[in-house]
């Protein structure tokens, strides 16, 4: 086989590195770099550059994967929080209707959802449900018994009762979710 010049060799090196060179070109380059230090250096360097490039690509891919995962996670959190808000609203509205006992299920589910999305901050949801339930019933009772001043005490205590029941059920949901989380984490260890 004819020997090739350094120029041709340098032209062929990238093709060899990318595995697209013909067999003859491959052999010619290998033969040449055994005899030419300059081209061998270039050949080795191309190897390093390719490796770095590949590492960068996989690093970028990892970052992209992470971005996608965190985006999905954020969407799930947003969905769960929307459910928490809507659920609390509906749950409190159900009071004194024939469906109010669904709250035995709704409130703990809200609590669990809050724990899985907000973790330690889920107590904020419990407080929010207490405040919302209290305010809602307080306004409702005031409006229903607007001129009945003899019932002032029940304007204060009755809403507190509902607020305590709902936030208590919600806190129970948080506790259940917390225990499940602990149990699940232990199992994974």
Residue 77 Cβ vs Zn ion, minimum distance, rounded to whole Å: 59
DSSP of 85-116, one letter per residue?
Answer: HHHHHHHHHTTTSTTGGGHHHHHHHHHHHHHH
Residue 139 binds Zn ion, judged by CB under 5 A: no
Considering only the stretches 34-42, 67-75, 108-116, 174-182, report the one whose residues sit in contact with Zn ion under the rule CB under 5 A: 34-42
Considering only the stretches 31-39, 79-87, 136-144, 152-160, report the one whose residues sit in contact with Zn ion under the rule CB under 5 A: 31-39
* DSSP class of 122: G
Considering only the stretches 5-13, 23-31, 68-76, 136-144, report the one whose residues sit in contact with Zn ion under the rule CB under 5 A: 5-13
Contact string (CB under 5 A) for Zn ion, positions 149-178, x = contact: ------------------------------
Residue closer to Zn ion (CB basis): 31 or 95: 31
Q: How far apart are CA 134 and CA 143, in angstroms?
A: 14
Residue 183 CB burial class (10 angstroms; 0-12, 13-18, ≥19): exposed
Residue 12 binds Zn ion, judged by CB under 5 A: no
Residue 39 binds Zn ion, judged by CB under 5 A: yes
Residue 27 Cβ vs Zn ion, minimum distance, rounded to whole Å: 15
Query: CB atoms < 10 A from the CB of 129, how many?
Result: 27
Q: How far apart are CA 87 and CA 186, in angstroms?
A: 31
Can you read off the two tokens belonging to residue 8? Answer: 């041709």
Residue 4 binds Zn ion, judged by CB under 5 A: no
Q: How far apart are CA 124 and CA 159, in angstroms?
A: 19
| Chain positions contacting Zn ion, by CB under 5 A | 6, 9, 36, 39
């Amino acid at each position: 086989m004819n020997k090739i010049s350094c120029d041709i060799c340098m032209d062929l090196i990238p093709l060899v590195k990318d595995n697209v060179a013909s067999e003859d070109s491959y052999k010619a380059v290998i033969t040449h770099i055994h005899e030419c230090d300059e081209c061998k250096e270039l050949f080795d360097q191309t190897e390093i550059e390719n490796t770095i490039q590949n590492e960068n690509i996989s690093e970028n891919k990892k970052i992209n994967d992470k971005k996608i995962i965190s985006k999905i996670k954020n969407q799930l959190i947003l969905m769960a929080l929307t459910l928490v808000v809507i659920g609390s609203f509906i749950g409190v509205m159900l009071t004194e209707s024939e469906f109010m006992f669904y709250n035995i299920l709704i409130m703990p589910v809200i609590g669990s959802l809050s724990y899985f999305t907000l973790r330690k901050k889920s107590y904020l949801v419990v407080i929010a449900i207490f405040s919302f339930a209290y305010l809602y019933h307080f306004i409702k009772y005031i409006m229903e018994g607007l001129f009945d001043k003899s019932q002032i005490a029940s304007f204060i205590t009755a809403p507190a009762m509902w607020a305590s029941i709902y936030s208590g059920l919600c806190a129970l949901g948080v506790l259940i979710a917390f225990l499940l989380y602990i149990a699940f984490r232990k199992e994974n260890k």
